[in-house]
């Protein structure tokens, strides 16, 4: 693994600092009029999402951390474990519900997701940007009840709730943005 000194930091670089995997969000070389120069850095802990600001001497060095991103197929969940299959090697891995969080609330079984791994351990799941799901439950929309931009709650086939326009009926397929959870269009 390559080592990088604090003087070589760049935005987006991932490093192992004090046993944590961190990504450099911002950095600034500071040369005070008196005293030694230093590097002020804003780091994001990739595993738990925390952000911290700290300073380093430009000569301090750190191990570069290699984050692997693999396309995998979401197979099924079994209580607290979610199972994924590597599309190239067909190896299966299990990820705890704690690590998955709510990233799969719009993802059906057998859909492709991106799994981020550090030292072969998965720590984050990225769903596709948009998904197409069937509305399984919603109130009927009434004609004439269409004030500008009016919405109603709907439950999709994964069990997640989405706000949809009044004209969307039960059984219809809709496209959803997985980052925001917003309705995009009918399919």
Mean of the pLDDT values across residues 22-42?
89
Quickly state the pLDDT bin for 53 (edges 50, 70, 90): very high
Q: What is the dihedral of CA 70, 66, 23, 35, to 10 degrees?
A: -170
Tokens describing residue 44: 């994001």
- At CA 84, angle to CA 79 and CA 86, rounded to 5? 165
Task: Name every residue whose Cβ is closer than 8 Å to that of residue 134 and which is 6 or more positions away in sequence.
Answer: 156, 157, 171, 172, 173, 174
Which one is predicted more confidently, 156 or 100? Answer: 156
Quickly state the pLDDT bin for 72 (edges 50, 70, 90): very high
pLDDT tens column, 86-132? 988 998 998 888 878 788 888 889 999 998 888 888 888 888 989 99
What local confidence, expressed as pLDDT, does residue 125 receive? 87
What local confidence, expressed as pLDDT, does residue 145 receive? 57
What local confidence, expressed as pLDDT, does residue 174 receive? 92
Nearest CA-CA partner of 46 in 103, 118, 133: 118
Quickly state the pLDDT bin for 83 (edges 50, 70, 90): very high
- The C-alpha atoms of residue 130 and residue 30 are separated, in whole angstroms, by 42
3-state secondary structure string across 84-102 = EEECCCCCEEEEEHHHHCC
Nearest CA-CA partner of 78 in 97, 103, 100: 97
Across 1-10, 13-22, 141-150, least confident range: 141-150
Query: pTM for the full model?
Result: 0.73
- The C-alpha atoms of residue 127 and residue 123 are separated, in whole angstroms, by 14
């Amino acid at each position: 693994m390559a080592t990088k000194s604090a003087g070589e930091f760049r935005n987006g670089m991932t490093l192992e600092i004090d046993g944590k995997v961190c990504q450099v969000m911002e950095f600034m070389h500071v040369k005070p009029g008196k005293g030694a120069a230093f590097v002020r850095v804003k780091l994001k802990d990739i595993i738990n999402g925390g952000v911290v600001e700290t300073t380093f001497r430009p000569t301090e060095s750190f191990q570069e951390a290699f984050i692997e991103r693999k396309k995998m197929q979401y197979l099924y969940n079994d209580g607290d474990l979610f199972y994924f299959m590597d599309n190239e090697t067909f190896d299966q891995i299990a990820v705890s519900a704690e690590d998955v969080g709510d990233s799969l609330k719009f993802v059906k079984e057998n859909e492709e997701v991106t799994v981020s791994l550090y030292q072969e351990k998965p720590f984050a799941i990225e769903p596709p940007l948009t998904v197409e799901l069937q509305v399984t439950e919603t109130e009927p929309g009434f004609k004439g009840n269409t004030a500008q931009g009016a919405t109603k709650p709907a439950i999709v086939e994964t069990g997640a709730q989405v706000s949809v326009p009044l004209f969307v009926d039960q059984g219809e397929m809709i496209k959803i943005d997985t980052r925001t959870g917003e309705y995009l269009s009918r399919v």
